[in-house]
A and B are shown apart, each in its own frame.
Chain A
Amino acid sequence: LAKTTQPISMDSYEGQEVNITCSHNNIATNDYITWYQQFPSQGPRFIIQGYKTKVTNEVASLFIPADRKSSTLSLPRVSLSDTAVYYCLVGEGRDKIIFGKGTRLHILP
């Protein structure tokens, strides 16, 4: 079961691009990488999922290098409403789901 390591917290300013990196050295061949966002007292919300290279959707991009031992969630032009906790998960399904403590992102005006 791949363990993930993320920074505990990050600060950024409105309008900036924010990159949050997650390390997962023991990622298995079948594992996908998934990111969730959670606001206080709300359930997490799926942001993006990928297996390799780059994935982009309307809210974020996910960059995964060839060795897949890390991944980077990129949030373009953040706003105050992006202040939240961001979780990186690695797994392929039947494993126990480990969210960890995530990265607390604080966007400043």
Chain B
Amino acid sequence: DSGVTQTPKHLITATGQRVTLRCSPRSGDLSVYWYQQSLDQGLQFLIQYYNGEERAKGNILERFSAQQFPDLHSELNLSSLELGDSALYFCASVFGADYNEQFFGPGTRLTVL
């Protein structure tokens, strides 16, 4: 158990819909990273937040957005969903702002039908 929690574990929705994925970092960690992993693909870095502020941006689509709240939990919002958005979405947390050992959550499996 990494100490990072993600909800929900599974999500099934239809094309065109909008969903929100939630991540609670380890106690004391200030940074949250979001990743997308499609079937048989590597992890694609989407975005990083540090203490409520966006820190780095990766291959995040304009249909996707994220935020980190004052209690440090983070949400990833996916809208106008397409079949290709079906994937595992992981969040990871780190104490500091810069890359170090990341602790990953169990992931949310999103299925778009």
Contacts and interface: CB of A to CB of B under 8 A. Distances in A.
Interface of A: 32, 34, 36, 38, 41-46, 49, 87, 91-102
Contacts of A100: 42
Contacts of B41: 101
B40 to A, nearest CB: 9
Given A43-B2, A49-B101, A94 B90 contact: no
A91 B43 contact: no
Given A46-B102, A102-B42, A95 B56 contact: yes
A93 B4 CA distance: 20
Interface string B87-111: 0101010000111111111110100
A44 B43 contact: yes
A38 B105 CA distance: 12
A43 B106 contact: yes
Interface residues of B, number: 29
A89 B26 CA distance: 22
30 contacts: A34-B99, A34-B101, A36-B102, A38-B43, A43-B2, A43-B4, A43-B90, A43-B106, A43-B107, A44-B43, A45-B104, A46-B101, A49-B101, A91-B99, A92-B98, A93-B98, A93-B100, A94-B56, A95-B99, A96-B45, A96-B56, A97-B35, A98-B45, A99-B35, A99-B42, A99-B43, A99-B44, A99-B45, A101-B41, A102-B42
Given A93-B99, A95-B99, A44 B104 contact: yes
Given A41-B109, A97-B35, A99-B43, 12 more contacts: A32-B99, A41-B107, A43-B4, A44-B90, A44-B102, A45-B104, A46-B101, A91-B99, A93-B99, A99-B42, A101-B41, A101-B42
A97 B56 CA distance: 9
Contacts of A97: 33, 35, 45, 48, 56, 58, 99
Contacts of B106: 42-43
